[in-house]
Structure 1
Amino acid sequence: MNRENFLILLFHVLLLGWLFEVLGTPRVPVLSFHRILKDADSYGYLNLSQNDFINILNNLRDAGCTPYSPDKPWNPFKCQILLSFDDSTEDHFNWVIPYLRDKNWPSLFFVMGTSLKDMQPVSGLDYHWFASHAYLDRSLLHEIYTDVSVLMKELDQTDEEMKRLGMKTLPWFALPRGEYNDQTVKILSSRFEKIFSVDPDYMNPEEPGLQGRFMLSRTNSYEKMLDWILKSMPQYRVDVLLPVFFLLLVDLVLLCRFARYCMNL
């Protein structure tokens, strides 16, 4: 093998390695919802109407998306979505949870301990997953949490409420108001496998630590959301398509060389 052929082969192997590494990095889109109300026009921009939510779910199904289940393997070639809901508001239990069960779409609910303390056990909770969203709707950057024991006590209280209600839980945490710093993440990482912000990034189901989400609001269009979702899939990703293109190009060069070699025999 001459030097030129060796370099072509080496380039081919490196591209294959790059491609396998990219394909092997899970990227699960996690959508973040807040309140889902019958009529959301007079409320904050983070709240959606029931009709808006129904349209989003229908559009996701029409686009070929399916629910992602934390207890099942990730499939890189399927459009798998995890829906998450913050704050455990009354509308989640009264409408969202039963609606998603009827539509066969298991989802994740980040709950606050204060909103659960007066709640009685209800049926249907075992279909979805639940995880902690702290005890109060208060930023973890608040000065009260300079005493870490205060935070740990509140987290214990939320865990106790979820256990009392028989919720199917995950060792995950959603940052209240999406606010954090390096110290916050370090403290939470000692207790939780995954910590969710509202930074527009994806979840890696195989890696612990800080994860991103796409926050739904009335200012975020469906087109923007779908574009973000599709970019998580290999067939729509530039970092996948580029090495595939170069691999095909290298293979074409090698095929031409082989054909020319055969003609000269």
Structure 2
Amino acid sequence: MALSQLEVTGAEVYATQVGDRLTQRGHQVFYVSDTLSCPHKGQHFRLLFNKRSLPRRVWHVLYLIYLILRYKIQLVHAHSRASGWSSYVACKLTNTPMVTSVHGRQPVHRSRKKFHALGYHAVAVCENIAQQIIRDLGVPREQVSVVRNGVDSQQFSPLPAANNDKPIIQIIGRLTGPKGELVYQLLKQCIDLNTNKVQVVSGSHVDKRFAEFEDKVEFCGYSDNIRSTIAQADLIIGAGRVAMEALLCKKPVFAVGEAKALGYISLDNLPAALASNFGDVADDGKTELDIDYSNLAEQLASFGEQHQLSEQLVAAIKAEYDLDAVCQKLLETYQSAYVYTKQQEVPIIMYHRVTQDDSQKGAYGTYVTLERLEEHFQTIKRMGLSPITFSELAEIGLEHRFNHGKRYIILTFDDGYQDNFDLLLPLLKKYQFKAVIYAVTGTDHNRWDVEHPTKPDQRFELMSHQTMREIDQSGYVEIGGHTLNHPKLAELSEAEQQQEIEQNKAELESLLGRELTTFAYPYGNHNQQTKQLAKQAGYTFTVATDSGPIGMHQDLQQIRRIVMFPSTTKFGLWRKIKGNYTYKKASKQARQIDE
């Protein structure tokens, strides 16, 4: 997490709360910033990003490169322009994935348009910011998404209404820059300081211009427990994180920020509040604060008439800003950044039958000889890859598949042939490898090929129920679903597809005494309806063949696999599983479609 700041900001709270939640999920998080006031788990390195002379920036880049290499950093998440610029150069030089959270409106100038310095993806905290960097900076739309500030909804749960003799109004935020001017004008023009008790909660130095309010306003300084602080208040004035946290605590909020005044937040103006980060970012490109303070004074004078916040409003805020949901969206972005920057994904390779020699090759060549398969296993072992099953991947956590020092591969075998038990299983035991076998249950042989109308194949036996149970219990194989009769699912009706998928799953689960995790489309053939039915059946991981996005996490109902042929040599295998094969093939397919 890279930040440039000299005082507590919403970006720091965002970075540390997200960082702590990622730490809870097993990730190691480091912080690099000028200062870091919020409590946090993870090591902090002080780097003066706000010193922006050319020599300083060169030093920033060199120091970031040192940290990336020394601590084996796999992704950099920047949270400000100054830290983002240095992080961008350091990440380019080390081929490290980078994303940037954009917390406020970006300055527009020629160099910024040409040199976005946002990394793989820009994550805007509200829609108006996203629109601004697309419109004014020319950042491609596909490189921008909205992921809101994460708020721990348990920490900021509803509070009882304050019971004060004199209403307490708290203004929470910085006293520097545009927000400082805003606070000054609110005190000067808008709030009746005689009928209300006003508290200003800020970590900023109190400028001398605020001296005129010392007798009537309490300047409380920084609060490290904002929930207990706002528990005293009857009304909160602020924008950004302040507003959302107060609303989750069921405190009335008067939203006024650096760009616009929204007034009291309700369900009616919530869409505008979300889009503008509660008043901090305009939707029209304006850079100067344009607020009618007399109008604000009238609104604030009616504070006693405001009704209590509705449960629907609190629920809507929770749905938008829940920290776990925000972290999940960020993790998906992180994974995409890693896959597309490194051009790597966990290889999932596909076999069918295993034979003693070429005499059993059949009409379609969906086999590999035992000798060739052992060559493949030797290559996999030499490359330091660890074969795992999809159940093990679920236990590891999909987001952890790229953890430093780990290189995974998934070996899959379609249809469930008897030779998988006779020849594959002993080889798995010899090399201590794991594999996934996708089993057909509606026939005892490859009837779909034998009864082919124009190119009938010879008969090859499938595993019996007893054999399937035995191989599943061996500890080396995970059984997955593969339909009853191996049809081209997309050519069937919805009811027929559902029966093929769900009855096959029910039979296998009854046989094996456990729930299935993964399913494979026969021939890789499917449509959107098929994908939905597989998900509805309860499959977490569904594999296709050579279709689907590059990143596994991008569509768990259409995971790409790499086909192995009888002719795939050790070198051919190495080329396909070293990491970037899927990226290159998918990119080539996309270019062909465009052409």
TM-score normalised to the size of structure 2? 0.35
Query: Which structure has the larger Rg?
Result: 2
Q: 1:141 to 1:209 in 2, by over 3 A?
A: closer
The CA deviation at 1:94 is 2.1
> Gapped runs of 5+ residues in structure 1?
238-265
- Distance in 1 separating the partners of 2:357 and 2:570: 19
Are the counterparts in 2 of residues 87 and 112 from structure 1 also a CA contact under 8 Å?
yes
- AA of the residue aligned to 1:12: S
- Distance in 2 separating the partners of 1:184 and 1:153: 11
- Distance in 1 separating the partners of 2:568 and 2:471: 31
Query: Which residue matches 1:138?
Result: 487
- Distance in 1 separating the partners of 2:569 and 2:514: 32
The CA deviation at 1:207 is 5.9
Which of 551, 562, 568 aligns to 1:214? It is 562
Residues 175-206 of structure 1, C-alpha deviations (whole Å, 9 max, x = no match): 10112233332332322222211117766369
Give secondary structure in 2 for the equivalent of 1:199.
coil
216-225 or 29-38, larger mean C-alpha shift: 216-225
Query: Which residue matches 1:13?
Result: 87
Residues 74-127 of structure 1, C-alpha deviations (whole Å, 9 max, x = no match): 244432111000000111122212431342111111111124795325534221
- Distance in 2 separating the partners of 1:75 and 1:108: 20
25-34 or 88-97, larger mean C-alpha shift: 25-34
- Distance in 1 separating the partners of 2:463 and 2:355: 22
The CA deviation at 1:136 is 1.0
Give secondary structure in 2 for the equivalent of 1:81.
strand
Which of 191, 196, 202 aligns to 2:543? It is 196
TM-score normalised to the size of structure 1? 0.73
Is it true that 1:172 corresponds to 2:172 in the alignment? no
Is it true that 1:223 corresponds to 2:571 in the alignment? yes
Q: 1:3 to 1:181 in 2, by over 3 A?
A: farther
- Distance in 1 separating the partners of 2:572 and 2:514: 32
Are the counterparts in 1 of residues 521 and 542 from structure 2 also a CA contact under 8 Å?
yes
Query: Which residue matches 2:236?
Result: none
Are the counterparts in 2 of residues 110 and 173 from structure 1 also a CA contact under 8 Å?
yes
Identity of aligned residues (%): 16
- Distance in 1 separating the partners of 2:479 and 2:511: 11
- Distance in 2 separating the partners of 1:98 and 1:164: 26
Query: Which residue matches 2:293?
Result: none
Query: Which residue matches 2:378?
Result: 58
- AA of the residue aligned to 1:13: S
The CA deviation at 1:63 is 1.6
Residues 64-83 of structure 1, C-alpha deviations (whole Å, 9 max, x = no match): 11223323342444321110
- Distance in 1 separating the partners of 2:354 and 2:347: 20
Q: Where in structure 2 are the equivalents of 1:107-118 lying within 5 Å?
A: 107-114=435-442, 115=444, 118=464
Query: Which residue matches 1:125?
Result: 472
Are the counterparts in 1 of residues 483 and 505 from structure 2 also a CA contact under 8 Å?
no
Q: 1:66 to 1:79 in 2, by over 3 A?
A: same
- AA of the residue aligned to 1:194: F
Query: Which residue matches 1:36?
Result: 354
Give secondary structure in 1 for the equivalent of 2:411.
strand
Query: Which residue matches 1:23?
Result: 338
Are the counterparts in 2 of residues 203 and 213 from structure 1 also a CA contact under 8 Å?
no
Across the two proteins, how many residue pairs are aligned to each other? Answer: 232
Query: Which residue matches 1:93?
Result: 421
164-173 or 2-11, larger mean C-alpha shift: 2-11
Give secondary structure in 1 for the equivalent of 2:378.
helix
215-224 or 55-64, larger mean C-alpha shift: 215-224
Are the counterparts in 1 of residues 501 and 534 from structure 2 also a CA contact under 8 Å?
no
Residues 232-251 of structure 1, C-alpha deviations (whole Å, 9 max, x = no match): 59xxx9xxxxxxxxxxxxxx
Query: Which residue matches 2:300?
Result: none
- Distance in 2 separating the partners of 1:186 and 1:207: 11
Are the counterparts in 2 of residues 31 and 82 from structure 1 also a CA contact under 8 Å?
yes
- AA of the residue aligned to 1:23: Y
> Gapped runs of 5+ residues in structure 2?
1-50, 58-79, 92-97, 100-118, 121-332, 445-461, 585-595
The one of the two structures with greater contact order (alpha-carbon pairs below 8 A, sep at least 6) is 1
Residues 46-79 of structure 1, C-alpha deviations (whole Å, 9 max, x = no match): 2111111011001110121122332334244432
Are the counterparts in 1 of residues 552 and 560 from structure 2 also a CA contact under 8 Å?
no
Q: 1:117 to 1:108 in 2, by over 3 A?
A: closer
